[in-house]
Structure 1
């Protein structure tokens, strides 16, 4: 393991030199092109990339302990012809690595796809309706997390609670409404549930065994085709923007935020079980969560704190479990980060810790994940390095450990 650690820290040094030259502390990100003198008509383009180098402790004998990947490569653009209409398009790829590269960049292996495509219309000063492939999700703040400014290395995986089950990578095709009543922000949606999902290879549930998330495929779109979602958060201090759906992971002391929220996801007959006679029966999928987020500067010395906690209850159907990621049960998750005081306003350092514990009905046991890491910011989230150690244990299985270095540029 010593050689692998030397390699990772060598990559860290190399990447620090690369990212230091990018951007500046007052850089706001993106390319905004005005289409009239007032700037009321415009389009904006945002691009970001995240590179990972990872060491994994326990792997099969024929698998390397170290790996490299493009965790995310994205382009997002949105445009307004006036203040009442907006169109947004977001495309890119995820987790491109040595096992899933396409020889010529296209074909079945290609990962480039649309993440978001939606249009929206203002119906008042603080209220908007829209439709398309969208990210106005329910459940929790982390189910609406931006990948541009996550405080930890990556989002808490179980908080993206429907990826690949009812949606396309955390996005549903549907209609949404979002807005604010004073300090209370809301987002609600009615969506189509996907027919093809991570359990599409499962023909049907077996009598006496766990539920299968295949309601639309096995019962039809009339009984299991729609799902409903919502998230509501009250902004006690500074008001967060809800112009776009992507929730900020850490303001690094740039704002004083304290929000408390609650949300849900409900898919009638989303899962299916087989009774004692083999007849298929639908089971409702119901997920809800409560959470709290605090982010604020501490004094005048540049220090700041970011803290988040959530409780989430997951009902995917009787004893549902899939890939040590989705389970019927409950979850408590939290993280906290601290920006170290520093007179150099260009560079900020933020150590952090995270913890996740889940109860799992199917195995009558728990899963736990613990992480510690640090961010080095060279131009806020526009240019940063993250190094994180993560340890995860699932029931009686042996614990798995990961050490990951991330380099990120956001323009």
Structure 2
């Protein structure tokens, strides 16, 4: 009983100090913030996010669910569920923690545990200009959406190819890193040195050596990565590593960015004699452009645009199929190179161009029921291992009931199917689609 009373008192103290930033249409607080000093410069904040997917997938050829063939997959799942606690403890000390889970669906193990996405501590050496930090963190290099702010994604997903080592030698994009970040005038920068996690414990790839490149199972060298962007108009926040997908016309942003990632001997494959092992470096370079531009202040409409180019060298003919919250578990004898469910070649050695465009309709479109935002994106990849280019495209409509805090998204994705020709080349043979309705709630 005493423990209950103490917990209740602490909860009351926290919510008594919560900032209630209200709008005329809502009496609920827009953020949960506990002030540690009078002016609020020292604080603790709590965030919550839940993204629920209702989905129909036209499955890849030969797809099975635990041994049963199924061409048409219907499912409901938790794409992302996150709880965040972070804050400015002193004028110079900042901490950030995030835990939750991803991809909990009908085929997941029961009572799947939560795990930490982030746990870092940071010290401001020179305020705003340079901060140093360490821990399990998303302060990643390469490109803008290597560290996406999942609550403000323009569509259903950020471009997954930019999450270059996801769950192979990191933990859902996060890495054990020492990093530096800051803003020098209009230049925003981040640099990190990371210790790669063991690939032997990864379920994202086989550790069986072959003719084509894989991430090496040996203890790896340090991974060095960074991202720099020049902000022509409004400055973006760099309090956390995660970068917004859309500001819904609330900021006027135009940036040009460039980044890199490098790791010595990260990859390996067999030599032609099938006996010797050849090792190669992992090298990724990128440039990108982001803009969020209000069109009319009175109407409240705006456009969001993003474009990126990446050169990726994962070694000889490396390629990885990815299927977000894959609804299938395997393939039968009719399977193709894509593998099961909704997977398709997403990451590989070669060149990739990505483009995305969104249009926010005026605030009066749905009156008190919110507004609408349409989007379209496409990924075009010229991978060394594929005979044909990989072209994925998706589009949809966001119903912004309360901005990004409460929104309903209807989206459709079209993906290519690749399989071996009679000559042994990997060719695009057909296309499959996936329709998703996502309901997002966030604080």
TM-score by length of structure 1 reads: 0.87
Q: Which residue of 1 aligns with 2:250?
A: 254
Q: Could you say what secondary structure the match of 2:179 adopts?
A: strand
Shift of residue 372 of structure 1?
A: 1.5
| In the alignment, structure 1 residue 382 sits paired with structure 2 residue 405 | yes
Q: What is the alpha-carbon root mean square deviation over aligned residues?
A: 2.0
The equivalent of 1:16 in structure 2 is none
State the match for 1:155 in structure 2. 158
- CA–CA distance in 1 between the matches of 2:55 and 2:417? 20
CA change 1:168–1:382 in 2 (3 A) is: same
Cα distance, 1:132–1:346 mapped onto 2, change above 3 Å: same
Q: 2:124 aligns with which of 117, 122, 125?
A: 122
Is the Cα–Cα contact under 8 Å of residues 310 and 351 in structure 2 kept in the other structure?
yes
Q: Is the 8 A contact 1:29 1:46 kept in 2?
A: no
Greater displacement, 158-167 / 87-96: 158-167
Contact 1:26-1:379 at 8 Å conserved across structures: no
Pairing 1:33–2:56 present: no
With 128-137 and 324-333 compared, the bigger mean Cα shift is at 324-333
For residue 202 of structure 1, report the CA deviation from its aligned partner. Answer: 2.0
TM-score by length of 2: 0.81
Deviations 1:284-321 (A, max 9, x none): 01111100001011023111000000001111111111
User: 297, 301, 320: which is aligned to 1:303?
Assistant: 301
Q: Which residue of 1 aligns with 2:43?
A: 42
| Matched-pair contact (CA < 8 Å) for 2:59–2:72 | no
Question: The residue matched to 2:39 in structure 1 has which SS?
Answer: coil
SS in structure 2 opposite 1:313? strand
Shift of 1:170: 0.4
Q: Deviations over 1:40-99 (max 9, x none)?
A: 332111001000001112354436531110111100111222120011110000010000
Structure 2 equivalent of residue 399 of structure 1 = 431
**Residue 324 (structure 2) aligns with:** none
Task: Find the counterpart in structure 2 of residue 355 from structure 1.
Answer: 378
Does 2:285 correspond to 1:285? no
> 3-state DSSP class of the match of 1:408?
strand
- Find out whether 1:331 has 2:363 as its counterpart: no
Displacement of 1:25? 7.0
C-alpha contact 1:24 1:378 (8 A) present in aligned 2? no
For structure 1, the residue ranges without an aligned partner over 5 or more in a row are 1-21
Aligned equivalent of 2:9: none
Q: For residues 80-119 of structure 1, what are the structure 2 equivalents within 5 Å?
A: 80-102=88-110, 105=111, 110-119=112-121
Cα distance between partner residues in 2 of 1:175 and 1:296: 34
Deviates more, 1:396-405 or 1:193-202: 193-202
Displacement of 1:111: 4.4
From 212, 215, 229, give the equivalent of 2:214.
212
Structure 2: any 5+ residue segments left out of the alignment?
1-22, 64-68, 322-344, 419-427
Q: 1:56 to 1:266 in 2, by over 3 A?
A: same
Q: How much has 1:339 moved relative to structure 2?
A: 1.0
Q: Deviating runs (4+, > 4 A) in structure 1?
A: 22-28
Query: Quick one: distance in 2 between partners of 1:101 and 1:384?
Result: 28
